[in-house]
A = this chain, B = another copy of it.
Amino acid sequence: MNTTIESPGASAAPAARPEESGISLTPQEFGVGARVTLAVMSDDYVNLILGALDEADATGLQVTTGDVSTFIGGAESDILRYLSQLIGAVGRSGAHLNAVVHLSRGCPGEVLCERPATAGPLPGTVGERILTGVPAVAEWALYPLEDGGRGDGAPDHMRDIYAAIDFSKSNGTYRSSEHFVTRLEGDVADILHTVALGWILVGRTVQHVTSHVTLSINSPSMSRTR
């Protein structure tokens, strides 16, 4: 199944879209990317992570490993495939792990967003979802960031956040609302699908959108994960 999120019409998205402004940006020029930290609660964590890196398909992606996280730049669907394969592979080892995923789009820089001011939102797709067979529990936060200075009417990001929550209910990953986060449960691929789709949904009307999710897998305190 391919799930494509279409950019809404100009009446729903007051900001200029790339095709309207004549600007054509690649996902990396638009700052589409992720950071992932794998923390494996085992003395053998180095081998488990290296083995998972061998299993994950990085086609189309820039992957740069650091000492806190690994940066992954590229199109949304490629990022999602890579994260799902990587996290699923470590999960299948049976070791307890946390995977911390940070998604960002629309702000290639750090403090200053160095995109063209008229870039506007950019549509994206989540691609094909392939189940990992690894159940997880997760805590998810989704952030539309205005960055000020647009001055062209407030985008309706609450509409898109509600749409993201509704999607998490429709695919069965939604569990509850907690302090600061939404709790998700399900196959690693389903959880990441929910998170990426929410990020892209809000990206229909807001240029700079980030999302943070922490997945817990094979926890001794996991009593039920579907």
Interface positions of A (Cβ within 8 A of B) = 31, 33, 35, 37, 39-43, 45-46, 66-69, 71, 73, 96-98, 100, 102, 104, 107-111, 137-139, 141, 143-149, 154, 157-158, 161-162, 165, 177-183, 210, 212, 214-216, 219-222
Contacts of A183 in B (CB 8 A): 68
User: Which residues of B sit under 8 angstroms from A162, Cβ to Cβ?
Assistant: 111
Given A100-B214, A179-B35, A180-B102, verify A67-B110 contact (CB < 8 Å). no
Let me know if B214 and A37 touch, CB within 8 A: yes
Contact check, B68 vs A139: say whether CB atoms are below 8 A apart: yes
Q: Are B139 and A35 in contact (CB-based, < 8 A)?
A: yes
> Is there an interface contact between B148 and A157, defined as CB atoms closer than 8 Å?
yes
Q: Which residues of B contact A138 (CB under 8 A)?
A: 68
Chain B residues, Cβ within 8 Å of A220: 46
| Bound CA span A143–B206, Å | 14
Distance in Å: Cβ of A154 to nearest Cβ of chain B: 5
Q: Least Cβ distance of A79 to chain B in Å?
A: 13
* Closest CB pairs A-B (n = 4): A39-B39, A110-B177, A104-B180, A41-B45
| CB-defined contacts of A42 to chain B, threshold 8 Å | 41-43
Tell me whether B182 and A110 are in contact (CB under 8 A): yes
Contact of A177 among B109, B141, B165, B180 (CB under 8 A): B109
Greatest chain B CB density within 10 A among A110, A154, A162, A210 is at: A110
Nearest chain B CB to A35 CB, angstrom units: 6
A214 near B137 with CB under 8 A, answer no
Instruction: Please give, as numbers and ranges, the residues of chain B lying within 8 Å of A107 by CB-CB distance.
Output: 180
B67:A210 contact, CB within 8 angstroms: no
Give the CA-CA distance A211 to B148 in the complex, in Å: 18
